[in-house]
Amino acid sequence: MLKKFKTFLEHFFGKQPPAYLSELVGKQATYRFREATTSDIKELLRLEKVIYSGETPWTKSAFLFEFYSKHPHLYLVCELNESLVGFAGIRLFGIDGHITNIAVDPHHQNQGIGTWFMEELIANAKACGCETISLEVRVSNIDAQRFYRHLGFEAKRIKANYYQENGEDGLDMIKQL
């Protein structure tokens, strides 16, 4: 009886154990992937600081804006021992799926986490009828550009002064599905 009540409460307050989508056996550990929720935001901000030298390019309100967007969207996280080590997301605009963010803790890069995120987001966009996937990347972020090229993205055009905080140009990349 008590157990049933607990289960009801957990369901009601959204505290059910998360539904994992997949596991990935990396060089160091086994990672688990699931959809992000608003309860992850505190941990996402911590993770951003690890990845971006103490900066949080996306604030709490930026995450909330995305998670409650009217456009179809999907945000995923990667967990190791209940800590987040990566996240990525996509927002759909008609027949284009736009990768809005992707980042992996430097201690856990080059093990396939980023590729898993991209393949999952792309497969979902395709299933929703998207014909292209787009993204922007800093012109200075050569590693990420190579990563995207290996996934089939092509450079389209430069967006001058795209990144507001330092006026850096953005490179528009696109993949046909």
Interface with ligand COA by CB under 6 A: which range of 36-44, 53-61, 112-120, 161-169? 112-120
Tokens of 122: 């792309």
Nearer to ligand COA, 40 or 111 (CB): 111
SS3 (DSSP) at 1: coil
Note whether 170 binds ligand COA by CB under 6 A: no
Sign of CA pseudo-dihedral 72, 135, 77, 63: negative
Note whether 144 binds ligand COA by CB under 6 A: yes
Note whether 150 binds ligand COA by CB under 6 A: yes
Nearer to ligand COA, 69 or 115 (CB): 115
From candidates 11, 60, 126, 146, binder to ligand COA by CB under 6 A: 146
Interface with ligand COA by CB under 6 A: which range of 12-20, 103-111, 123-131, 153-161? 103-111
Residue 116's identity, in one-letter code, is W
Residue nearest to ligand COA (CB): 114
Note whether 31 binds ligand COA by CB under 6 A: no
| Number of neighbouring beta carbons within 10 Å of residue 89 | 22
| Number of neighbouring beta carbons within 10 Å of residue 70 | 6
How are strands ordered across the β-sheet holding 132-138?
A: 22-25, 30-35, 73-80, 83-93, 96-104, 132-138, 168-176, 154-163
Comparing CA positions, the residue from 117, 122, 120, 62 lying closest to residue 85 is 117
Note whether 161 binds ligand COA by CB under 6 A: no
Contact set with ligand COA (CB under 6 A):
51, 102-104, 109-115, 137, 141, 143-144, 146-147, 150
